[in-house]
Structure 1
């Protein structure tokens, strides 16, 4: 079992949504640098259902892929936030030699919520990961961190059984404790909006905290100065997971809630470092 790891990056990052969606620069920090020209990478839009929100942009690098990273955007499961939040990360990852799948899914307000959003994430992974060579990693921010972590346990439930298994999870400022999110009214009661009136069955099926220990390693990358999803979400999850015998690491960064999805930030560099250790 890998012990809890804390990696504190020294340079603060002040970033908002606009910076998080800025175009990727030519050079990025990270142990393994950008190895593929974005111009030679291929992008394919795959639809996995009839709803306009049921699609994945699959970015394939030139040459041999290091593995698949499934990018799942956040936004408190709400319809007004979409996959444009994940696009800069997918472009950076494909330039580093990864196959990157930027997932769109139904959210609260356009047909999503529990369990439909989970149905979509399961279907999207199945659409891109079946037969994938190398590691299959989910990487998600905020509510996407919830979905990325949940996806590693989805095969335990009959509704989502039979899909491709994951090998690793990277949660970026993830909402990984739904009971605490409901209690703390995160995102103006966003977790209640996602769950509806939550039952014990809903928590069992949807809450990553309820699903520890996972069978795959999890890295929870989070800034202590996050004023949107509290650092305690990741800290408590990693403590519970390691106590249960799981392989889980807490990677502490700076940059508030959005630093981890800014490809020019030290917080994103920490995510890249995690991935570099995987493939």
Structure 2
């Protein structure tokens, strides 16, 4: 497939002319969430200025932790636009199911893909180590993310944690939900997005969940993969191929295609109590 075709398939903003309305809604609802819920903002998990997270907490000790990773094609957006995800897990819009951490991470072009993935892993290790003072169950850490965050969710699931910290459990991530995720970065390597990402084929393959899972020989955490029925064919194909490969390696994975949802409004199903994605994620947390 030539670059023009790939550019068209992966340009979500062009595919959804009303995307700015959704992005404005994310930001507005998130500002309300930060006022309504108990939260600790800008906790540093690393040395980089963007290695910070916002933690929304429930009053009951020992609840699980849900980590959410924002999208933006690894080069845009901020955790502050995704606080609204916490509503349906912390409350008051839903029952208190879990604490919720919303992550920031370094962005391209300053950070390359290796560094971005390493930052997410550093965040999860930091949260695992700090579980006691932060008052959540370190044995029940789950990860979710949207778009590029869906890719990073899958990369977190495919991590040999004990190689990063000898004390860490192999199953540090107990499960996850990837929303509109990207699992094969070679098409990204050959389209307009790579102008800022700067990947070569080696880096793209090293950070692609699809070839990684094909060679995986360890137990896999339970995953849910969701995509909008109105997304471009590239996103539907990416999910199909990854889910197929995950099953072949013995992983438990649920595939969801949300009818009529596009790349930007699919996240509302995660943020609304009783929404399709909130319901399946709550099932993993329990």
TM class, shorter-length? 0.7 to 0.9
Query: Which residue is equivalent to 1:127?
Result: 126
SS in 2 for 1:154: coil
Conserved 8 A contact 1:21-1:262: no
Could you list the per-position Cα deviations for residues 174-225 of structure 1 after superposition, in whole angstroms to 9, with x for gaps in the alignment?
Answer: 1122234435x3xx234x74362121xx345311111225610111011121
Residue 242 of structure 1 is matched in structure 2 by 247
CA contact (8 A) 2:189 2:204 kept: no
Any idea what SS the aligned residue of 2:186 has? helix
Q: Tell me the distance in 1 between the aligned counterparts of 2:247 and 2:221.
A: 12
Alpha-carbon distance in structure 2 between the residues aligned to 1:118 and 1:266: 28
1:89 and 2:85 matched: yes
Deviation by residue 1:105-126 (Cα, 9 ceiling, x = unmatched): 00103x3222111121111112
The 1:156/1:203 distance shift into structure 2, 3 A limit, reads farther
Q: Which residue of 2 aligns with 1:196?
A: 199
Q: Which moved more, 1:158-167 or 1:219-228?
A: 158-167
1:159, distance to aligned residue in structure 2 (A): 5.7
> Helix, strand or coil for the counterpart of 1:74?
coil
> Aligned equivalents of 2:167 and 2:108: distance in 1?
26
CA deviation after TM superposition for structure 1 residue 167, in Å: 0.2
Query: Any conservation in 2 of the 1:222–1:252 contact (CA below 8 Å)?
Result: yes
For 1:102-251, what aligned pairs fall within 5 Å after superposition? 102-109=102-109, 111-130=110-129, 131=131, 132-133=136-137, 134-155=139-160, 158=163, 163=168, 165-182=172-189, 185=191, 188-190=192-194, 193-194=196-197, 196-199=199-202, 202-203=203-204, 205-212=206-213, 213=216, 215-227=220-232, 230-251=235-256
Report the Cα distance in structure 2 between the residues aligned to 1:18 and 1:161, rounded to whole angstroms. 43
3-state DSSP class of the match of 2:47?
A: coil
Matched, 1:274 2:274: no
Q: Is the 8 A contact 2:220 2:250 kept in 1?
A: no
Give the TM-score normalised by the residue count of structure 1: 0.77
Q: Could you tell me which residue of structure 1 aligns to residue 11 of structure 2? A: none
Q: Which runs of 5+ in 1 are unaligned?
A: 1-13, 27-36
Q: Distance in 1 between matches of 2:118 and 2:270?
A: 33
Give the drift of 1:276. Answer: 1.9
Please report the RMSD computed on the Cα atoms of aligned residues, expressed in angstroms.
Answer: 3.1
Contact 1:182 1:189 in 2 (8 A): yes
Superposition deviation, residue 92 in structure 1: 3.6
For residues 83 and 37 of structure 2, what CA distance do their matches in structure 1 show? 17
2-side partners of 1:176 and 1:69: how far apart? 21
